[in-house]
A and B are shown apart, each in its own frame.
Chain A
Amino acid sequence: MKSKIALAFENCKKEKRAALITYTVAGDNTKNNSLKILNKISKHADILELGFPHNTPIADGGQIQGSSHRALKNGMKLKDVFQIVKKFKKTNPLKPLILMGYYNLIYQNGESNFLKNCKSSGVDGLIIVDLPYPENKDFANRCKKKGINFIQLLSPTTSRERMKNIIKNSHDMIYYISMLSTTGGKLKVSPKKILENYNKIKRINPSKNLVIGFGITDKTISSLKSANGLVVGSLLCKTITNSLKMRQNPVTKLDKVVYNLKKKII
C-alpha cells in the first residue's frame, strides 16, 4: 500500500505542480491554536510538518527557536503533540503529517514507545534533525516496519558518494537543505544554483520525491517551483510572532499566508 506521503506527491505530479509543505511548531502559540492552524492550512498545504519543540535546538534559527520557546512555555509535552496529531487526523485522515524534531526527546521517550505513539496517533513521517545517516539506519528501518516514513536529509556539503547511499536508504521523501544555514536564514544562494544542485540529486534517482527547504519565503518560493516539493517554516513561525505582537489572530493570519504561498506555485 502506498503511503499518504507518496500519494500526496502523485497528486501534485498529476496537477503538474510542486507540493506545498508547511512547518509549524506544536503548541505555538497554544495547543488549541496549533490544532486550529493545522486544520486551516491543510486546505492549501499538501503535507504538514509539525515540530515537537526542544529547548536546545542546534540547527534552528531565531524564528523556530521563538516558536519552540512559546510552545514549551505553554507546557507542551510530547503527549500533547500526539494528541494534536490525533485530533487533526480525525478530521483530516488523508492529509500526510510529519513530525520533526531532535533525537533526545525520542531517546528519553524510548524509540519503541515513541513509534507506537506515532502509529496510534496517525503520524506519517519523521524528520530527526540530529540523527544523520548512517547512525539513523536502525531507527529508519524500525520506522519503515511500522509504515512510517523516515525522511533523510541532504545538504550542499553532502558528497556525491554519500548522497547515493542516503538516497538508496531513503523512503518516500528526501529533504534537500538549500544552503549552509540554520532554518530561517536569508537565501544566500541563488535559486538557479539551488535548482542546479537539486537536479544533480534528482538524476541519481529520478523516481524519488525530493523537496527543498530552508530560506524559502513568499518572495523566493515561485522561483523554485519546479521542485517536487517546497518547505516553508520560519516564515510561518514569524507570522505567528508578528500576529501576536499586533494582537491579531494567528490562525486566520496563517491561513492567508499559506493560501498566498500556494497561489505562487500553482
Chain B
Amino acid sequence: MKLKINRNIPLIDQHDKNFMYGGKFGGNFIPETLKKPIDDLTKLFAKLRRDKNFLRERNHHFTNYIGAPTPFIKLENLTDHLGGAQIYAKVVSEANGGAHKIYNATVHCLIAKKAGKKYIVGDTGAGYAGKMLSMAAKKFGLKCKIFMGAKDIKRQRPNVEAMRKNGAEIVPVTTGSQTLVDAVSECMRYWVSNCDTSHMCVGSTVGPNIFIKICAWSTAQISRELMQQVKEEFGKIPKKLKLINCVGGGSSAAGFWNEFINTHAEFIGVEAGGPKNSKLHAAPLTNGSKIGILHGAAQYVIQDKEGQIGSTESISAGLDYPGISPLHCFLKDTKRAKYTSASDEDALKAYLLVSKLENISPSLEPSHAFAEAIRIAPKLKNSEVIIVNSCGDSLKDKDIIKQKLGSYIR
C-alpha cells in the first residue's frame, strides 16, 4: 500500500481509529492502567484546541513568556564561506530558556492546570525538556519532577543546574544505558503509579498518540512564525527551499515543518550518526531499522531480531534515542521528508564553523543539521535557499566541546 499525506487534515490528525499513522506507526501500546488517563487527556486536548479562550491564553504566553517570533536571520558569512545556496537560520534558541522544548512544556503546564493536576512529571535527555518543564512548572505553580539518565546528568550539567534552580526534583535513572530511553521508561512507570494526581509531559513527539499530538501542536509555533518571516524576506516561498532540522525524537522538526507541509519546500531530517568508525548510532530512519514498539508507539526503532531495544550512541544527548516519532516514520514512508545522518565529528565541525563565522552558536543537536547544510550548500545554486532550525545553544555543551576540541568558543 502506498502511503499518502492528506492535504486537508492536519498532520497530527491523520491517524486511524487505533491512532495509527498510515496504519502502521503510532497507536497506544500501553498498560491498562494508563488507558483512562490517556483517554481523559485525549478528550481534554480535543476540547482545548478548539477553545478560543485557551488559544488566546496559549498565544499570550507564546508571545509574552516564550517570546514570539524568534529571529530569522541570514548567515551571510557562512553563505559566502561555502559559496552556493543562501543559508538562513531560524534562531529558536532565542526562545525563553534557549530551545524549542519550551513550547511543549508551556502547553503541557496549561493543560495540567485545566485538568486540575498539581504535579507534573517529565523526561529529559539533553536536559532541555526538563529545564523548560521546570521553568514552566514554576511559572504556572506546579510541582515538578524530572526523570533523567545518570549519564546525561553528568554530560549536561548546565541544564541540570537550571532545573535545580527552578525547584524541580531530578530523579536520576540508573537502569539500562542511563540515557533518554531509560528516562522515558522510568517517567512512564512513575505515571502508571501516580496518574491520579500527576500530569505527564513526554518531552518529544514520541510515546502514546496524545503526547505526539500535543507536542507537535505546540512546536508548530516555529513554522507559523517562519512562514510569515519567509514571506516577508522573499515575498513568497522561494522556488527551491530546503528546511533542514535535526531529529532525535523529532519534536523540533515536526514544528519546523508543519506549516510548510502542503508547500513545495523540501524537508531534510538529520539523525545522529554517532562516532565515525563505530557501529553504534541513533539514526533508525537512515539505517533502515525495522518497525517495533517503543514507549507505547509503533515506529522505526533500533532493535535486535528478537525485539530488544538496541543501544545507541551520540555526542548529542538530545538525539541519543533509539526510536523516532511516528510522525517522521509517516513522513519518510510518504516520501514527504528525506532523512540522513551526520556523525559526531561532522556535528562538532559544524558547531565550530558556525560559531566562528556567525553570531549564533548552535548546540550539538542542531549542529547535526548544520553539518548537512554545510555539506550540500556548495553544490547548490545561489538562487536556492536553505533554512536550518537552530533549536539549541552550545552553552549547555560547553563541557563536551572542551573535552573534544580542547577549547570552547561561542
Contact = CB atoms under 8 A, between A and B. Distances in A.
A104 B193 contact: no
B192 A180 contact: yes
A189 B109 CA distance: 29
**A contact face: mostly helix, strand, loop, or mixed:** loop
Contact of A158 (B18, B35, B188, B298): B35
Nearest to B291: A107
A196 interface: no
A182 B191 CA distance: 9
Contact of A55 (B189, B193, B290, B309): B309
A54 B308 contact: yes
A54 B308 CA distance: 6
Contacts of A55: 176, 308-309
B194 interface: yes
A55 B304 CA distance: 11
A10 interface: no
Nearest to A72: B308
**B contact face: mostly helix, strand, loop, or mixed:** mixed
A155 interface: yes
Contacts, number: 110
B35 A102 contact: no
Interface string B325-343: 0000000000000000000
A129 B298 CA distance: 15
A55 B306 CA distance: 11
B222 interface: no
Given A58-B188, A61-B189, A135-B18, A158 B293 contact: no
Contact of A104 (B31, B34, B307): B307
Contacts of B29: 103, 130-131, 135
A109 B308 contact: no
Contact of A155 (B33, B194, B306): B33
B378 interface: no
B52 interface: no
Question: Which 4 pairs show the lowest CB-CB distances between chains A and B?
Answer: A108-B307, A157-B36, A104-B293, A155-B33
Interface of A: 54-61, 65, 72, 77-78, 102-109, 129-133, 135, 153-159, 162, 177, 180-182, 185
